[in-house]
């Protein structure tokens, strides 16, 4: 079974970053990752971080390892870090699928590239041994370079009564198409295009119930004994968005600090580093970004215990994720504002990091209003509005 240390994973990620950094502007213009970026990610073998050891992966047990690895790439190119993260995280989602599905996929390709779109917008009819699925899903980041797709849809009830059953369906090569729709302000190079499926048969074992994913009781949680596959899916899900977001924030801090240092050294009449507001921006933003990381780490530490979460803990994790995302965004906003007029120039990467973190921060996983309301209601002992399980797509 392969093994990897934290230091080795970071070393490999730095090599990926060396390829992605000079392509950052080209990535935005392409609106998807250049082939050489994808190749560097694949060659690093870091796609296998979460894949269970008995399936040839590294079987890590901490989301913060993913955050540290992805940050090395996200801090030079937000879109590359975003797609890099999802190529890792989607194996966590796939790990909840039945053994038959995992056997078939990992036998065909030990490091498959999987795209997703979890909103249950597909149309489903029941068929012998499975389902027939059609539909079009939006916001599937990195789908251009993905060979497989996991997509959400609602299955009508058997008796025609009661609510539909939300499921995630696995589609293989040739079973879906990509429609080019991604024209965005931030994460421009993530290729978050639409996925189109036209009346494809999906076997029962190539699907899981969203409710079982949400509670960490899907078939794969019994098959894969790693702690990450015992976590309630919608509780841990925001890690997949947070990991690249913290990398983007660190990239903005790197960029601004280098910019300020260069200005201080080259401009005798305008030593930027000596300006109190510049020093304060760096100091306060770095504290906000570090605090965001530590909030996420506290969530990871709690989930790693494997102990059943109380409602209060579930809501606190959701609250922490939301606040962590706002802290990181606030830090980048502070740096961008301190950059002044030079910050809006295309030649200054700070504007790209600012756009990217706001694109990441607008993700539905944060539930900016509901997460605070739920946590506050629970603390007051009044009925918690909405669904208690956080996250979701």
What integer is the mean pLDDT of 93-112? 97
Any domain includes 388 = no
Question: What percent of the chain is modeled with pLDDT above 90?
Answer: 87
Which of 253, 272, 393 shows the shortest CA–CA distance to 327? 253
Supply the CATH number for residue 198's domain: 2.40.110.10
Q: Is 95 in the same domain as 22? A: yes
- Residue 251 placed within a domain: yes
pLDDT surpasses 60 at 243: yes
pLDDT of residue 268: 53
Residue 393 has pLDDT above 50, yes or no: no
Nearest to 353 by CA among 80, 88, 145, 83: 80
Predicted pLDDT of residue 262: 77
Domain carrying residue 352: 238-380
Do 23 and 41 have their domain in common?
A: yes
Residue 368: predicted pLDDT: 81
Domain boundary (68, 92, 108) is at: 108
The total of other beta-carbon atoms located within 10 Å of residue 72's CB is: 25
Domain boundary among 190, 209, 228: 209
CB atoms within 10 A of CB 100: 13
- Any idea what the CATH number is for the domain that residue 23 is in? 1.10.540.10
Q: What is the pLDDT of residues 40-66, one digit of tens each?
A: 999 999 999 999 999 999 999 999 999
Do residues 267 and 357 share a domain?
A: yes
| Residue 253 and residue 345 in one domain | yes
CA distance 122 to 167: 10
Give the model's pLDDT for residue 33: 98
The CATH number of whichever domain residue 353 belongs to comes to 1.20.140.10
The pLDDT tens digits for 270-310 are: 555 567 888 999 999 999 999 999 999 999 999 999 999 99
Domain boundary among 172, 191, 209: 209
Same domain, 376 and 242: yes
95 and 139 housed in the same domain: no
Query: Based on the domain organization, do 355 and 253 belong to the same domain?
Result: yes
Element containing residue 148 per DSSP (H, E):
strand 148-155
How does pLDDT run across 349-385, given as a tens digit for each residue?
999 999 999 999 999 888 888 999 999 999 999 999 8
- Do 154 and 131 lie in one domain? The reply is yes
Confidence band, pLDDT 50/70/90 cuts, at residue 161: confident
Indicate whether 258 and 353 sit together in one domain.
yes
Q: Does residue 385 fall inside a structural domain?
A: no
Three-state secondary structure readout of 233-285: HHHHCCHHHHHHHHHHHHHHHHHHHHHHHHHHHHCCCCCHHHCHHHHHHHHHH
**Spatial separation of the C-alpha atoms in residues 301 and 49, rounded to whole Å:** 18
192-219: pLDDT as tens digits = 999 999 999 999 999 999 999 999 999 9
Does residue 136 sit in the same domain as residue 102?
no
DSSP-assigned letters across all residues of 296-334: HHHHHHHHHT-PPPPHHHHHHHHHHHHHHHHHHHHHHHH
pLDDT at 387 over 50: no
- Per the domain annotation, does 270 fall within a domain? yes
Please count the structural domains in the chain: 3
* 225 found inside a domain: no
- Domain membership of residue 226 (yes or no) is no
pLDDT over 90 at 389, yes or no: no
71 occurs within a structural domain: yes
* 339 and 368 co-located in one domain: yes
Q: Which residue in this structure is represented by tokens 């609602």? A: 154
Mean pLDDT of 121-144: 97
Per-residue model confidence (pLDDT) at position 391: 32
Residues 158 and 278 in one domain: no
pLDDT digits (tens, 9 = 90+) for 163-185: 999 999 999 999 999 999 999 99
């Amino acid at each position: 079974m392969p093994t990897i240390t934290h230091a080795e994973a970071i070393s490999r990620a730095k090599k990926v970053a060396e390829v992605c950094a000079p392509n950052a502007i080209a990535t935005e213009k392409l609106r998807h990752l250049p082939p050489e970026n994808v190749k560097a990610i694949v060659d690093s073998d870091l796609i296998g971080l979460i894949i269970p050891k008995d399936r040839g992966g590294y079987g890590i047990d901490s989301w913060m390892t993913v955050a540290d690895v992805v940050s090395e790439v996200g801090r030079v190119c937000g879109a590359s870090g975003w797609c890099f993260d999802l190529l890792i995280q989607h194996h966590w989602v796939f790990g909840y699928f039945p053994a038959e599905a995992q056997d078939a996929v990992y036998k065909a390709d030990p490091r498959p590239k999987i795209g997703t779109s979890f909103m249950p917008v597909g149309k489903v009819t029941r068929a012998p041994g499975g389902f027939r699925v059609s539909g079009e899903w939006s916001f599937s980041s990195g789908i251009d370079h993905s060979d497989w797709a996991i997509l959400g849809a609602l299955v009508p009830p058997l008796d025609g009564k009661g609510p539909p059953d939300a499921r995630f369906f696995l589609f293989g090569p040739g079973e879906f198409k990509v429609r080019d729709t991604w024209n965005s302000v931030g994460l421009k190079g993530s290729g978050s295009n639409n996925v189109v499926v036209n009346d494809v048969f999906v076997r029962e074992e190539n699907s899981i119930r969203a409710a079982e994913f949400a509670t960490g009781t899907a078939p794969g949680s019994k098959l894969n004994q790693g702690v990450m596959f015992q976590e309630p899916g919608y509780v841990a899900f925001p890690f997949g968005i947070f990991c690249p977001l913290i990398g983007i924030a660190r990239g903005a801090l790197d960029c601004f600090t280098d910019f300020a240092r260069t200005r201080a050294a080259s401009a005798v009449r305008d030593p930027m580093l000596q300006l109190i507001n510049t020093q304060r921006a760096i100091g306060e933003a770095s504290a906000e970004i570090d605090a965001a990381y530590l909030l996420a780490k506290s969530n990871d530490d709690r989930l790693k215990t494997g102990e059943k979460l109380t409602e209060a803990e579930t809501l606190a994790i959701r609250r922490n994720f939301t606040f962590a995302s706002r802290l990181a965004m606030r830090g980048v906003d502070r740096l961008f504002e301190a950059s002044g007029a030079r910050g809006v120039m295309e030649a200054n990467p700070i504007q790209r990091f600012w756009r990217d973190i706001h694109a990441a921060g607008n993700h539905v996983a944060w539930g900016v209003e509901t997460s605070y309301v739920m946590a506050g209601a629970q603390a007051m002992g009044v009925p918690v509005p909405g669904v208690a399980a956080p996250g979701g797509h």
